[in-house]
Structure 1
Amino acid sequence: MIDIEILRRYYTKDMVFVTQHTAKRFRERGIRMRDIKAALFSGHIIEQYEGSFPFPSCLICGISSTGKPLHVVMSDEGTASRIITCYFPDPNRWDETFTIRKKEG
């Protein structure tokens, strides 16, 4: 199980990596690294993906630097982390707290 304090420690130690593809996608969405940092340090883990490959990952819900809800998916690779994706959650797919998925149908 991933501990958000460990992810925050990785971030503080500059041990969080972003692939070129991921960076391109969050720029297209109007998300900046300061938004991701703000969400990581203000947020909490709402889903754990222990079986994800090649490393366990989790979904964090926090607040961006501009005050908007932001979801960030990060891995825990043992000595570092990777930002897998980040997005502004769709209110049609999440409850009013953006922490619980709405049931489809």
Structure 2
Amino acid sequence: MDIADLIQAVQANRINITQHARREAREDNLLLDEIIHSIQNGEIIEDYPTDTPYPSCLIYGENQNGYPVHSVWAYAPDSQMAILITVYRPDPERWIDWKVRK
């Protein structure tokens, strides 16, 4: 997956946010601005090419204050839509440098 496609879709406001992602964002007190900032300055740390209906990926980025944010996105090439599947603040007990699972 190409993060540039996701960023372009986000910048064009072609975003679909799942109910699960909305719940997770609320639970972790993440605002949409933080999530958007984290993807625009982020990197793909895991790729899930066999996910359906579209391949997805885990993106690590930081919010405007430098705090880590993980988000899982899919990209629908037919509609050029970015789909936010889930988002959370990563647990330092489970990640090395926020990028590698322990």
Q: Give TM-score, length-normalised by structure 1.
A: 0.90
Q: One-letter code of the match for 2:26?
A: R
Matches within 5 A, 1:16-95: 16-78=15-77, 79-95=80-96
Aligned residues: 100
Q: Give TM-score, length-normalised by structure 2.
A: 0.92
Higher deviation after alignment, 59-68 or 48-57 = 59-68
Q: In the TM superposition, what is the alpha-carbon distance from 1:54 to its structure 2 partner?
A: 1.2
Q: One-letter code of the match for 1:91?
A: P
Query: What corresponds to 1:14 in structure 2?
Result: 13
Q: Which has the higher contact order (CA 8 A, sep 6+)?
A: 2
Unaligned stretches of 5+ in structure 1?
none
The CA deviation string for residues 2-30 of structure 1, in whole angstroms up to 9 with x for no partner, is 11111000001111111234212211210
Q: One-letter code of the match for 1:76?
A: Y
Instruction: Give the RMSD, CA atoms, in angstroms.
Output: 1.0
Query: SS at the partner of 1:86?
Result: strand
| Residues 100 and 21 of structure 1, relative CA distance in 2, 3 Å threshold | closer
Same amino acid, percent of matched pairs: 35
Structure holding more strand per residue = 2
Unaligned stretches of 5+ in structure 2?
none
**Misfit runs of 4+, over 6 Å:** none
Q: Distance in 2 between matches of 1:101 and 1:58?
A: 14
